[in-house]
């Protein structure tokens, strides 16, 4: 997530609020955090104030309101963005960007699997987290086009996730909600039914399938029985008429079987509304295991091509995420999609002179060395 | 798993196809393998890390771990393939009149003179038939008007449409109407009515003038091509191309000129053809219009190839029988074609209501009745209840004897999941519901068509497969190839 920094004053707490750029605005200021250039005298009702100029402590002592001053790049904040302020350190974390199509809520920092290419840093969940997330959703713009619910594994929240989804239904009735889950806990049909009962119209479960056989999938997820549980979960979703997207992260262990994974999906999961093949994000465990996991997109693109065409020919909605155009055969460019969140998305020096840069998804912040070496401008 | 063995083998059916072996699992998914690998498979000598083993594993032919999941997946897929059984009878055919203004040489219905009115379905009978239709639990109901020529008794057609729509106000089923007619007497008023009530039109066209008029003639013996052609255009202009379709019958006259028939269909703005074999019922049997299986298959293959080439040249046009079988082979979904399923569609997917209220298991069944054999008469709407008709001895016997899973030769055939049974035809030709496969033309033709399509699939030519998928998914070949342009 995008992050800014300044110097905190008047509080040591954690504060969540919605950015307002209009100091005169009085309506709905209770949850609002003012972002401004310099602090003016009257500032009633705001939850906190952020300003770009430095201010002297003495002058503001009479203003009891929490303040972070000397904030660099404050113009990056937009009206309606939601920020989390750490008043101990002065960190300003942008948890929601009103103008982005890539917003998400980190519902759980913990997981029931330890996948060998997991890019996330995992930690035990705190009760505060759920409360904060519900508060964040409550502040979101009703016109938000899409929201991801991510983790860790969101389903380990159990009833907590139901509460979160209820808030989504209330605040974001039109928003496309995507839950990113490994699907293991969906093997309990009662749980799936209780989610289905919420009747969220635009809810999609995005579930990874790393292999076409249990042995390989279980190995990648580092959990025996994961394949069986996830497939059962997918079938429970289908019987409860929930929407499903299948995601396949491509790595050395499954790259040659991509066409067979596509075949498995078409024959066993024909109810999936979308299938996405995804380049690996080299972070966390993936970075640690990179020697074992790495295969260059150029090397696997023939298999990727076969898999994509297999599904497209069968009228299955299929996409490619997180790949760079210069490493893919041109005839599958139409399936690529700029899927990397803006704040993570970068381009290399070589990319600046590329004629296809505007169509290309670019990179996560950190391309792997071998990967970087193959990138070339078109 | 048996001790000392690395894997379990699941049930499959197999067949030699060229140099390779075709294996088909219980849900109709298939795989080709070399004879050498096949021997290894059966003798438990495959390495569970080999690619061929993994490919067999995702077809659930082998398992090296707990078999619970593959059995569950197979069961789900089998249910999906058989899901045509879920809703019971959806297609209801009304014989609006036995009279016809044509006297086609191959007529199966043995039609009566158009001047007569005693073979018309009256509104009293029609009402009882519609009442019976709505007793079916199926959420989708299709009422098909047949004859004779249903336009000769158009008042009853209109009554059925009005009354069925009225009943449907309460039932809220997905209700559709189709009229199967030669269109000879089509007029403006009829067309307006068809448009207003969104009725689909299915007519007959056997090819260009010389081929069409060879068999499709009026009672006076004159050709019908010109008027049919004119009226097809009128109907297409009024109702839209997709609302009008045509059927053809392959006879001795056009069997070696099927490409000409295809050209005629394209010229008349149809985007598909159903190459149908002649049924040995009614007049067709007497007039000797048939041909041997070999002649038909040779020409069918030739014309299928011709149609594939047309598609590759940019003409979106499909052969419907091949499309149905390809769907069965290549997709995990069920097809709704009542003439090729197991158990047969007789009564459970389709029912035929005669002009006098007799209810039959199929169209051929009522033709048998016209010839004096009531073997497949389930009952009469005036005399019997829904339970008596649709849960009686006739429907039960017919269904029990039409499961290819239990029929001699079919039970072990690799094509079992792609095929079906026709107990009425077996009875009429061979005197027995189950029939005798080695001498059955129905069997031979289906076996050879499925085998031909399977061989084309095995060739895996990219162009041909694109054409097949364009038929299955109802898209143009352009649309399938568009993505490749980057």
Residue B302 lies in a domain: yes
Give φ, ψ of A115 to 5 degrees. -55, 145
Query: What CATH number should be reported for the domain holding residue B191?
Result: 3.20.20.70
| Of the residues B380, B400, B433, the one at which a domain ends | B380
Residue A167 structure tokens: 């808030």
Count: domains in chain B: 2
Residues of B in contact with A238 (CB under 8 A): none
Which of B65, B76, B77 is facing A214, going by the closest CB pair?
A: B65
pLDDT at B381 exceeding the cut of 80: yes
Residue B432 lies in a domain: no
Summarize pLDDT for B293-352 with one digit per residue, the tens. Answer: 999 999 999 999 999 999 999 999 999 999 999 999 999 999 989 999 999 999 999 999
Please tell me whether residue A308 adopts helix, strand or coil conformation. Answer: helix
In the predicted model, what is the mean pLDDT of chain B? Answer: 94
Assess A356–B contact: CB distance below 8 Å, yes or no: no
Extents of the domains making up chain A = 3-95, 104-374
Total residues found in chain A within this entry = 378
Assess A333–B contact: CB distance below 8 Å, yes or no: yes
Residues of B in contact with A214 (CB under 8 A): 65, 69
Let me know whether B67 and B110 are in one domain.
no
Residue A68 structure tokens: 């972070």
pTM of the model: 0.93
Residue B288 lies in a domain: yes
Please tell me whether residue B410 adopts helix, strand or coil conformation. Answer: helix
CB contact under 8 A, A334 and B473: no
User: In what helix (H) or strand (E) does residue A205 lie, and over which residues does it extend?
Assistant: strand A203-208
pLDDT at B208 exceeding the cut of 70: yes
Please tell me whether residue A156 adopts helix, strand or coil conformation. Answer: helix
Q: pLDDT 10s digit of each residue in chain A, 378 long?
A: 788 999 998 888 899 999 998 877 656 667 899 998 887 666 777 889 999 988 876 566 567 789 999 999 999 999 999 999 999 999 999 999 998 888 999 999 999 999 999 988 889 988 889 999 999 999 999 999 999 999 899 999 999 999 999 999 999 999 999 999 999 999 999 999 999 999 998 999 999 999 999 999 999 999 999 999 999 999 999 999 999 999 999 999 999 999 999 999 999 999 999 999 999 988 889 989 999 999 999 999 999 999 999 999 999 999 999 889 999 999 999 999 877 766 667 788 888 889 888 888 888 766 777 788 888 888
Let me know whether B126 and B60 are in one domain.
no
> Any residues with CB less than 8 A from the CB of B5 and at least 6 apart, and which?
B44
> Any residues with CB less than 8 A from the CB of B301 and at least 6 apart, and which?
B452
- Give the per-residue pLDDT at A41: 64
Which of A213, A330, A335 is facing B57, going by the closest CB pair?
A: A213
Q: What whole-number distance in Å separates Cα of residue B5 and Cα of residue B2?
A: 6
Interface of A with B in 228-247 (CB under 8 A): 228, 231-232, 235
Which of B29, B64, B472 is facing A267, going by the closest CB pair?
A: B29
Let me know whether B177 and B69 are in one domain.
no
Let me know whether B41 and B75 are in one domain.
yes
User: In what helix (H) or strand (E) does residue B80 lie, and over which residues does it extend?
Assistant: helix B68-81
Tell me: cis bond preceding A273? Omega within 30 of 0 counts: no
- Give the per-residue pLDDT at B286: 67
Q: What whole-number distance in Å separates Cα of residue A13 and Cα of residue B275?
A: 78
Residues of A in contact with B55 (CB under 8 A): 260
CB contact under 8 A, A314 and B486: no
**Pairing status of strand A91-96 against strand A82-86:** antiparallel
Q: Cα B344–B349–B352 angle (5° rounding)?
A: 100
Assess A219–B contact: CB distance below 8 Å, yes or no: no
**What ranges make up the beta strands (E) of A262-350?**
274-278, 318-321, 336-337
**What ranges make up the beta strands (E) of B427-469?**
none
Let me know whether B76 and B92 are in one domain.
no
Mutate one of B57, B462, B468, B475 to test the A interface: name it (highest A CB count within 10 A). Answer: B57
Assess A331–B contact: CB distance below 8 Å, yes or no: yes
> HSE on the CB side for B289, CA within 13 Å?
25
Chain B's closest residue to A305, CA to CA, is B484
CB contact under 8 A, A313 and B69: no
Shortest Cα–Cα distance, B66 to chain A (Å): 10
> Predicted ipTM?
0.94
Let me know whether B91 and B207 are in one domain.
yes
**Pairing status of strand A318-321 against strand A336-337:** parallel
Summarize pLDDT for B408-443 with one digit per residue, the tens. Answer: 999 999 999 999 999 999 999 999 999 999 999 999
CB contact under 8 A, B483 and A312: yes
Confidence of residue B183 (pLDDT cuts 50, 70, 90): very high
> Any residues with CB less than 8 A from the CB of A277 and at least 6 apart, and which?
A248, A250, A258, A304, A307, A308, A318, A319, A320, A321
Give φ, ψ of B219 to 5 degrees. -60, -25
Residues of B in contact with A309 (CB under 8 A): 483-484
Shortest Cα–Cα distance, A237 to chain B (Å): 14
Residue B157 lies in a domain: yes
Mutate one of A226, A254, A315 to test the B interface: name it (highest B CB count within 10 A). Answer: A315
Instruction: Looking at the structure, give the CATH architecture of the domain made up of residues A3-95.
Output: 3-Layer(bba) Sandwich (3.50)
CB contact under 8 A, A212 and B54: yes
CATH top class, domain A104-374: alpha beta
Domain range for B37: 8-81
Let me know whether B92 and B74 are in one domain.
no
| Of the residues B23, B48, B81, the one at which a domain ends | B81
Let me know whether B124 and B63 are in one domain.
no
CB contact under 8 A, B54 and A260: yes
Let me know whether B69 and B102 are in one domain.
no
Residues of B in contact with A334 (CB under 8 A): 483, 485-486
CB contact under 8 A, A332 and B486: yes
Tell me: cis bond preceding B343? Omega within 30 of 0 counts: yes
CB contact under 8 A, A331 and B57: no
pLDDT at B17 exceeding the cut of 60: yes
Give φ, ψ of A41 to 5 degrees. -65, -55
- Give the per-residue pLDDT at A63: 72
Residue B472 lies in a domain: no
Alpha helix (H) residue ranges in B197-257: 209-215, 225-239
Q: What whole-number distance in Å separates Cα of residue B137 and Cα of residue B135?
A: 6
Cβ contact B262:B310 at 8 Å: yes
pLDDT at B186 exceeding the cut of 90: yes
Which of B69, B475, B484 is facing A214, going by the closest CB pair?
A: B69
Assess A213–B contact: CB distance below 8 Å, yes or no: yes
Which of A231, A266, A335 is facing B483, going by the closest CB pair?
A: A335
pLDDT at B132 exceeding the cut of 70: yes
Residues of A in contact with B480 (CB under 8 A): 312-313
Cβ contact A51:A39 at 8 Å: yes
Assess A330–B contact: CB distance below 8 Å, yes or no: yes
Let me know whether B144 and B49 are in one domain.
no
Let me know whether B277 and B352 are in one domain.
yes
User: In what helix (H) or strand (E) does residue B264 lie, and over which residues does it extend?
Assistant: helix B258-267
Residues of A in contact with B64 (CB under 8 A): 215
Helix (DSSP H) and strand (DSSP E) numbers for chain B: 19, 18
Chain B's closest residue to A236, CA to CA, is B76
| Of the residues B23, B53, B81, the one at which a domain ends | B81
Let me know whether B161 and B29 are in one domain.
no
Shortest Cα–Cα distance, B429 to chain A (Å): 38
Chain B interface, Cβ < 8 Å to A: 29, 54-55, 57-58, 64-66, 68-69, 72-73, 76-77, 331-333, 465-466, 469, 472-473, 475, 480, 483-486
Which is nearest to A51 in space by CA: A29, A23, A24?
Answer: A23
Other Cβ atoms within 10 Å of B435 Cβ, number:
25
Shortest Cα–Cα distance, B110 to chain A (Å): 44
Residues of A in contact with B68 (CB under 8 A): 228
């Amino acid at each position: 997530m995008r992050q800014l920094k300044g110097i905190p004053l008047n509080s040591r707490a954690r504060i969540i609020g919605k950015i307002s750029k209009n100091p005169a605005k009085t309506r709905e200021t209770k949850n609002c955090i003012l972002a401004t250039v310099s602090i003016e005298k009257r500032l009633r009702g705001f939850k906190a104030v952020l300003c770009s100029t430095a201010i002297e402590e003495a002058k503001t002592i009479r203003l009891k309101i929490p303040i972070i001053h000397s904030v660099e790049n404050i113009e990056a904040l937009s009206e309606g963005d939601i920020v989390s302020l750490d008043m101990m350190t002065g960190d300003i974390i942008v948890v929601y960007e009103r103008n982005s199509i890539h917003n998400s809520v980190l519902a759980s920092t913990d997981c029931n699997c330890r996948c060998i290419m997991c890019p996330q840093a995992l930690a035990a969940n705190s009760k505060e987290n759920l409360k904060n997330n519900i508060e964040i959703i409550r502040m979101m713009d009703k016109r938000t086009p899409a929201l991801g619910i991510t983790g860790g594994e969101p389903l380990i929240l159990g009833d907590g996730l139901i509460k979160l989804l209820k808030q989504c239904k209330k605040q974001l009735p039109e928003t496309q909600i995507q839950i990113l889950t490994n699907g293991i806990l969906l093997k309990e049909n009662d749980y799936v039914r209780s989610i289905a009962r919420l009747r969220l119209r635009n809810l999609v479960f995005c579930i990874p399938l790393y292999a076409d056989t249990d042995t390989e999938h279980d190995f990648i997820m580092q959990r025996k029985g994961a394949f069986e549980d996830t497939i059962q979960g997918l079938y429970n979703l289908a019987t409860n008429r929930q929407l499903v997207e299948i995601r396949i992260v491509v790595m050395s262990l499954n790259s040659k079987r991509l066409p067979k994974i596509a075949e498995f999906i078409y024959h066993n999961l024909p109810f999936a509304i979308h299938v996405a093949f995804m380049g690996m994000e080299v972070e966390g465990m993936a970075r640690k295991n990179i020697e074992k996991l790495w295969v260059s997109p150029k090397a696997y693109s023939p298999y990727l091509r076969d898999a994509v065409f297999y599904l497209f020919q069968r009228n299955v909605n299929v996409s490619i995420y997180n790949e760079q155009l210069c490493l893919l055969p041109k005839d599958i460019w139409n399936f690529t999609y700029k899927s990397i969140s803006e704040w993570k998305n970068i381009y290399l020096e070589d990319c600046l002179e590329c004629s296809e840069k505007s169509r290309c998804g670019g990179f996560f912040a950190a391309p792997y060395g071998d990967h970087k070496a193959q990138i070339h401008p078109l | 798993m048996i001790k000392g063995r690395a894997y379990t083998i699941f049930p499959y059916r197999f067949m030699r196809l060229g140099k390779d072996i075709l294996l088909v699992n219980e849900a109709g998914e298939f795989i080709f393998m070399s004879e050498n690998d096949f021997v290894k498979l059966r003798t438990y000598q495959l390495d569970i890390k080999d690619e061929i083993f993994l490919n067999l594993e995702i077809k659930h032919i082998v398992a090296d771990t707990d078999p619970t999941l593959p059995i569950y997946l197979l069961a789900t897929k089998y249910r999906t393939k058989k899901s045509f059984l879920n809703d019971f009878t959806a297609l209801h055919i009304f014989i609006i009149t036995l009279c016809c203004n044509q006297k086609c040489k191959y007529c199966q219905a043995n039609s009566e003179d158009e001047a007569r009115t005693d073979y018309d379905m009256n509104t009293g009978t029609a009402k009882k038939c519609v009442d019976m239709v709505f007793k079916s639990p199926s959420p989708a109901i299709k009422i098909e008007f047949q004859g004779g020529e249903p336009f000769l008794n158009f008042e009853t057609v209109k009554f059925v449409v009005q009354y069925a729509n009225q009943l449907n106000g309460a039932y809220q089923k997905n209700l559709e109407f189709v009229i199967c007619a030669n269109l000879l007497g089509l007029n403006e008023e009829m067309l307006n009515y068809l448009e207003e009530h969104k009725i689909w039109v299915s007519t007959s066209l056997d090819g260009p003038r010389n081929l069409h008029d060879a068999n499709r003639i009026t009672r006076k013996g004159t050709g019908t091509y010109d008027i049919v052609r004119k009226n097809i255009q009128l109907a297409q202009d009024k109702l839209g191309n997709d609302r009008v379709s045509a059927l053809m019958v392959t006879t001795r006259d056009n069997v070696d000129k099927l490409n000409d028939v295809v050209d005629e269909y394209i010229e008349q703005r149809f985007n598909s053809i159903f190459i149908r074999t002649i049924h040995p019922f009614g007049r067709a049997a007497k007039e000797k219009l048939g041909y041997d299986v070999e002649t038909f298959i040779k020409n069918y293959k030739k014309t299928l190839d011709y149609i594939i080439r047309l598609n590759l040249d940019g003409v979106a046009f499909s052969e419907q029988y091949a499309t149905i079988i390809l769907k069965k082979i290549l997709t995990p979904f069920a097809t709704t074609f009542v003439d090729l399923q197991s158990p047969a569609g007789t009564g459970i997917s389709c029912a035929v209501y005669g002009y006098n209220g007799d209810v039959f298991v199929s169209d051929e069944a009522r033709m048998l009745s016209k010839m004096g054999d009531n073997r497949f008469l389930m009952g009469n709407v005036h005399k019997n209840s829904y339970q008596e008709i649709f849960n009686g001895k006739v429907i039960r016997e017919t269904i029990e004897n039409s499961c290819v899973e239990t029929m001699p030769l079919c039970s072990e055939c690799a094509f079992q999941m792609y095929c079906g049974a026709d107990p009425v035809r077996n009875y009429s030709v061979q005197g027995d519901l189950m029939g005798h496969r080695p001498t059955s033309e129905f069997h031979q033709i289906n076996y050879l068509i499925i085998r031909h399509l399977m061989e084309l699939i095995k060739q895996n030519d990219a162009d041909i497969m694109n054409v097949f998928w364009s038929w299955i998914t109802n898209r143009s070949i352009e649309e399938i190839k568009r993505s490749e342009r980057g």
